[in-house]
Structure 1
Amino acid sequence: MHDLLTDSSGNVPVGLAPLEAVLTDVTNHYPVLEWIRRSPAARLLARLAQSPDTLTHHALDTLPPDANTSYVRGLLVTAGVLPPRQENLARLETWLAAKLAQLPPHHVTLVRPFAEWGIVKDARRRAARGRYSLSAYKGDCTDIRVTIRFLAWLDAHDLNIRDLAQAHLDDWASTHPTQRTRLIPFVRWVHARHIVRDLEIHHRPRQLPGTFQDEATHQAELRRCLTVTGLPLPVRIIGALVRLYALPLTRIVELTTDQFHREAEAAYLTLDRHPVLLPPALATLLDEQIAQLPAPQPPQGRRHLRLPGAVPGRPRNPVGLADQMKQHGLPVRAARNTALMEAITDMPPIVAADLFGISPATAHRWSQLAANSWAPYLAARQRSRP
């Protein structure tokens, strides 16, 4: 490791000394040796060590945004060489800058202020609350992409944005049915600034959830998560959190150790702003998971994610995690739908929204579904029992 990080003067730069200490202070050195010999990320780190003054987030942002750059950035942040940052927000800002550089000037005059004030500003607010997830980043990028495509469509039809009429918007929406919802933020933004007249573009009708579990299956899978030691520990924790608290994977992977705490004989997990009482079996699983995490590195107080991913300091990918859960016979979507429906039937929608961190509109929609569809389902289930 010393040879890898040595610069042209034959010394390890002072700023990289913490990284050298982190990577050599391990019980089993063989994985680190294998990483040094074979990993492209290690070779990238060696090149960066030759110019330690360029070891900044900004310098890394100029490199190809691939897995190697992400891995090296994670190492540097974990070791305290670089300050931590909200990575999904930073990716959005970097992606936007690159996208704007590719646009014609008359598109930039609209896309830049819309993206900065209509998208990025809200993303910064959510990131400050620790709620800007990978899925939110992807959604915001899609909103901007669809806006760019819409402006290109206007050009192709020799239309100026100020000439946009309802008939034009309806024409575009009918030929781009899968993108119409993503254009709503831009339409609202240009209307609020009196760039266009009063126009309407509606959300596509929301599809009601159709995948649920019967109670016996739901409870059996929960018992598996809490009692079957043959399952991987992260799988057991995720499965229980989905079935008890209807948490989506995008939120579970972002949970940090400081959201879990014990008081006297009870254990709590803070969801959004509210501590939720945990079953003792799940609290024990979380204790075991936290005990397996490496000790915090400088700067002091750095929080470790409960479910760390392949990139140091970054969480697991929710998509890959969903596949893993399915492989272990613990599907996520049906279990979450069932847990959320049961919660909605037991408490007012606004309480469920506040507790689980979903929007009031979503909670209200689920409440309507519970009143209209869940009662007959429960009645039919009761009649089918022996």
Structure 2
Amino acid sequence: MCQTCRARPERTCAICGRKGRGNLSRAINKHVCDRCKGHWVVCSGCGTGAVVRGGTPDKPLCARCVNPDPTFWKRCRICEITWQLTTAPCTRCCLDRRLREVFTAADGTTAPELDRLREKLIRVDHPNYAITWLRKANVQETIRAVVREHPVITHNALDAMPRSKTLDHFRSMLVHAGALEPRDERLVRLEQRVHGIIDQYDKGDHRQALHGYAVWHLLRRLRTRLKGTFVTDQQAINLRLHVTAADAFLRWLEARGQTLATCTQPQVEAWAATKPSYVEEASGFIRWAVAHRYAHGLSAPALRWTGPAGPHDQDRRWADARRLLHDDTLAIADRVAGLLILLYAQKVSSICQLTTDHVSRDDGPIRLHLGSRPITLPEPVDALVEELVATRRADTLLSSHSTWLFPGRQAGQPLHESQMIRRLRAVGVKPRQSRNTALFTLASQIPAAILAKVLGLHRSVAVQWQQASGGDWMAYAADVATRNSRTVGDAQEASVEETPSTTSQV
């Protein structure tokens, strides 16, 4: 009878401890279940990726660490490197063969970019995961389309193909392997969307106005604010809303045979009476058009921020903070991210962009750089952050050694903001409400200037939150000056009192 049909009783696995069907392992002379047989792990002894041969789920061991005798093991007949029980091709050699088949074009050539990616893939810690990924139909179709249509792979070549999640993942792997230059994909897609809306207009004032507003005002201002960083998800959404609102207002005018130059204030009020979507964003476009003389004599309401919306529950905030500090069943990344919101009023977009360079420890306490001035983390927050830096690991196909504090699923990329929000809500933290509560409290206790420097806020934002919270720090500078003068006066009085005794001794 074959291996599948023959009767095999269920026994306790010597590696995972679960009951299941398996075989007697010649490496350890114990029963190993089918789930552990051939499973790739990172060896706890030598730190290399290999098939598990012994140990436990927490501390798995490879062949060399189970039995260091080289004469006991056979070698892969292709690479002659892998230690195994047979001479069959090892998993890495099988992966290499599959990659060569998929990456090779019809004429027998392979793009140099794909060669670099193949060299990176065959060295991953879990080559069996790469084989599973390569077996997917959508992955094979995408790679074959790239190989068939583009002998030289560039960003422009990939941009010409229909966009899909598989193509985006494949591009990120090429970037991480060094085959393509890194770029801000969210900014590129944003520019493509903006130019796609502009190209729908014929040549004329509306096209020129929308181009000036979207490209030379919104996009240019966004690039100025980035300062070398990548666009956040909220920034991209905000810019898209402004462009969409401007496009909707122009379409409304065209449907009535009007232009920006001929539009009057009653028509603007009639448009506002229809209760369109994104009124505030469209009002910004109207004010910009008047300022740049595309329209004349128009006014649109500007909504000012009057304070945070929603209830502030301090008891709930501290209860969530205590739970994240002491609940060891939660993931360490979720605990640290939640505490950064509850204690330091950080946005989700800012948390996702943190790297290990923001955490420093120079023979002293752990410091976290959120703004221009570092924060000394108290206990036990410092221990959680230190553990996160030491144990963080990207759940990606390629072995990613990036510096992101919260690595994402795409190679070399941080965790996406939407995924971070879902994870925080799963542990009972509401990001927006919790941040508003924390920032409202901090703004009432700390001066706006210090709050901006410590938390990485803009000065005007810190001042607005201070005014909304009712914190009165107008006399803070005078109070500090008075405090310093009192300190100097007390020191002088102390020195005067000690002087007579000293002079008398002399």
Q: Give me the TM-score of the superposition, normalised by structure 1.
A: 0.85
Please identify the structure whose Cα radius of gyration is greater. Answer: 2
- Opposite residue 211 of structure 1, the aligned amino acid is P
Query: What one-letter code is carried by the residue in structure 2 that aligns with 1:230?
Result: T
In the alignment, which residue of structure 2 is the partner of 1:323?
422
SS of aligned partner of 2:470 = helix
Structure 1 counterpart of 2:105, one-letter code: D
Q: Cα distance 1:40–1:336, how it changes in 2: closer, same or farther (>3 A)?
A: same
CA shift for structure 1 position 151: 0.5
Unaligned runs of 5+ in 2: 1-98, 472-506
Aligned to 1:213: 313
Deviation at 1:53, TM superposition (A): 4.2
The CA deviation at 1:218 is: 2.1
Q: Percent same amino acid at aligned positions?
A: 25
Equivalent in 33, 38, 42 of residue 136 of structure 2: 38
Q: Which residue of 2 aligns with 1:381?
A: none
Equivalent residue for 2:283? 184
CA drift at 1:135: 0.9
Partner of 1:175: 274
| Aligned with residue 83 of structure 1, among 181, 193, 210 | 181
CA shift at 1:340, angstroms? 0.5
Which is richer in helix?
A: 1
What CA deviation, in whole Å up to 9, does each residue of 1:209-242 have, x standing for no partner? 2232223x32232232233221012211111111
Which deviates more, 272-281 or 33-42? 272-281
Contact 1:191 1:199 in 2 (8 A): yes
SS for the counterpart of 1:329 is coil
**Partners of 1:280 and 1:23 in 2: CA distance:** 41
CA distance in 2, matches of 1:22, 1:122: 38
**Contact in 1 for aligned 2:113/2:174 (Cα 8 Å):** no
Correspondence for 1:24 among 94, 97, 122: 122
CA distance in 2, matches of 1:246, 1:3: 51
What is aligned with 1:377?
none
Matched, 1:100 2:198: yes
Q: Distance in 1 between matches of 2:125 and 2:109?
A: 25
Q: 1:2 aligns with which of 84, 94, 100?
A: 100
2:337 to 226, 230, 238: 238
Q: Distance in 1 between matches of 2:203 and 2:296?
A: 23
Conserved? CA contact 2:174–2:180, under 8 Å: yes
* 2:238 equivalent among 129, 134, 139: 139
Going from structure 1 to structure 2, the CA distance change for 1:221 and 1:267 (only over 3 Å counts) comes to same
Q: Which amino acid aligns with 1:209?
A: A
Change (3 A) 1:88 1:163: same
Q: Is the 8 A contact 1:269 1:276 kept in 2?
A: yes
The whole-number CA distance in structure 1 between the counterparts of 2:373 and 2:220 is 26
Which structure is higher in RCO with an 8 Å CA cutoff and minimum separation 6? Answer: 1
Q: Specify whether residues 114 and 334 from structure 1 end up closer, same or farther in structure 2 by C-alpha distance, changes over 3 A only.
A: closer
Which 10-residue stretch deviates more, 272-281 or 108-117? Answer: 272-281
Judge conservation of contact 2:367–2:376 (CA < 8 Å) in 1. yes
* Match of residue 214, structure 2, among 115, 120, 131: 115
Question: CA 1:285–1:345 in structure 2 vs 1: closer, same or farther (change >3 Å)?
Answer: same
Go from structure 1 to structure 2 and tell me whether the alpha carbon gap of 1:225 and 1:40 turns closer, same or farther (over 3 Å shift): same
Any idea what SS the aligned residue of 1:263 has? Answer: coil
Q: Which moved more, 1:241-250 or 1:51-60?
A: 51-60
RMSD over aligned Cα, in angstroms? 2.8
Task: Confirm or deny: 8 A CA contact 2:253 2:259 kept in the other structure.
Answer: yes
Q: Does 1:363 align with 2:462?
A: yes
Q: Secondary structure at the match of 1:104?
A: coil
CA distance in 1, matches of 2:457, 2:230: 12
Verify the 8 A CA contact 2:150 2:157 in the aligned structure 1. Answer: no
Tell me how far apart the structure 2 counterparts of residues 290 and 43 of structure 1 sit (CA, whole Å): 38
Aligned residue type for 2:381: L
Equivalent position to 1:225, from 292, 313, 324:
324
Secondary structure at the residue paired with 2:366?
strand
In 2, distance between residues paired with 1:131 and 1:361? 23
CA–CA distance in 1 between the matches of 2:200 and 2:374?
46
Q: Given the alignment of the two structures, is residue 65 of structure 1 paired with residue 172 of structure 2, yes or no?
A: no
Runs of at least 5 residues in structure 1 that lack an aligned partner in the other structure? 373-386
Q: 1:123 to 1:282 in 2, by over 3 A?
A: same
User: Is the 1:211–1:333 Cα contact (8 Å) retained in structure 2?
Assistant: no
Give the Cα–Cα distance (whole angstroms) in 2 for the partners of residues 11 and 93 of structure 1: 34
Partners of 2:337 and 2:294 in 1: CA distance: 47
The one-letter amino acid paired with 2:422 is D
CA distance in 2, matches of 1:14, 1:80: 11
Report the CA distance between 1:208 and its aligned residue: 3.5
Residue aligned with 1:203, SS = coil
Go from structure 1 to structure 2 and tell me whether the alpha carbon gap of 1:111 and 1:12 turns closer, same or farther (over 3 Å shift). Answer: same
Q: Secondary structure at the match of 1:92?
A: helix
Distance 1:191 1:165 in 2: 12
**Equivalent residue of 2:375, what SS?**
strand
Closer, same or farther: CA 15–237 of 1 in aligned 2, 3 Å? same
Partner residue, 2:28: none
Aligned residue pairs, count: 368
Contact kept? 1:89, 1:124, Cα under 8 Å:
no
**1:376 alignment counterpart:** none
Instruction: Give 4+ residue runs of structure 1 displaced > 6 Å after superposition.
Output: none
Amino acid at match of 2:310: G
Distance 2:453 2:266 in 1: 40
Deviation at 1:140, TM superposition (A): 0.5
Task: Report whether the alignment pairs 1:258 with 2:357.
Answer: yes
Counterpart residue type for residue 285 of structure 1: L
Q: 1:89-118 CA deviation, whole Å, 9 max, x = no partner? A: 112112122222333333322211221111
Distance 2:190 2:389 in 1: 30
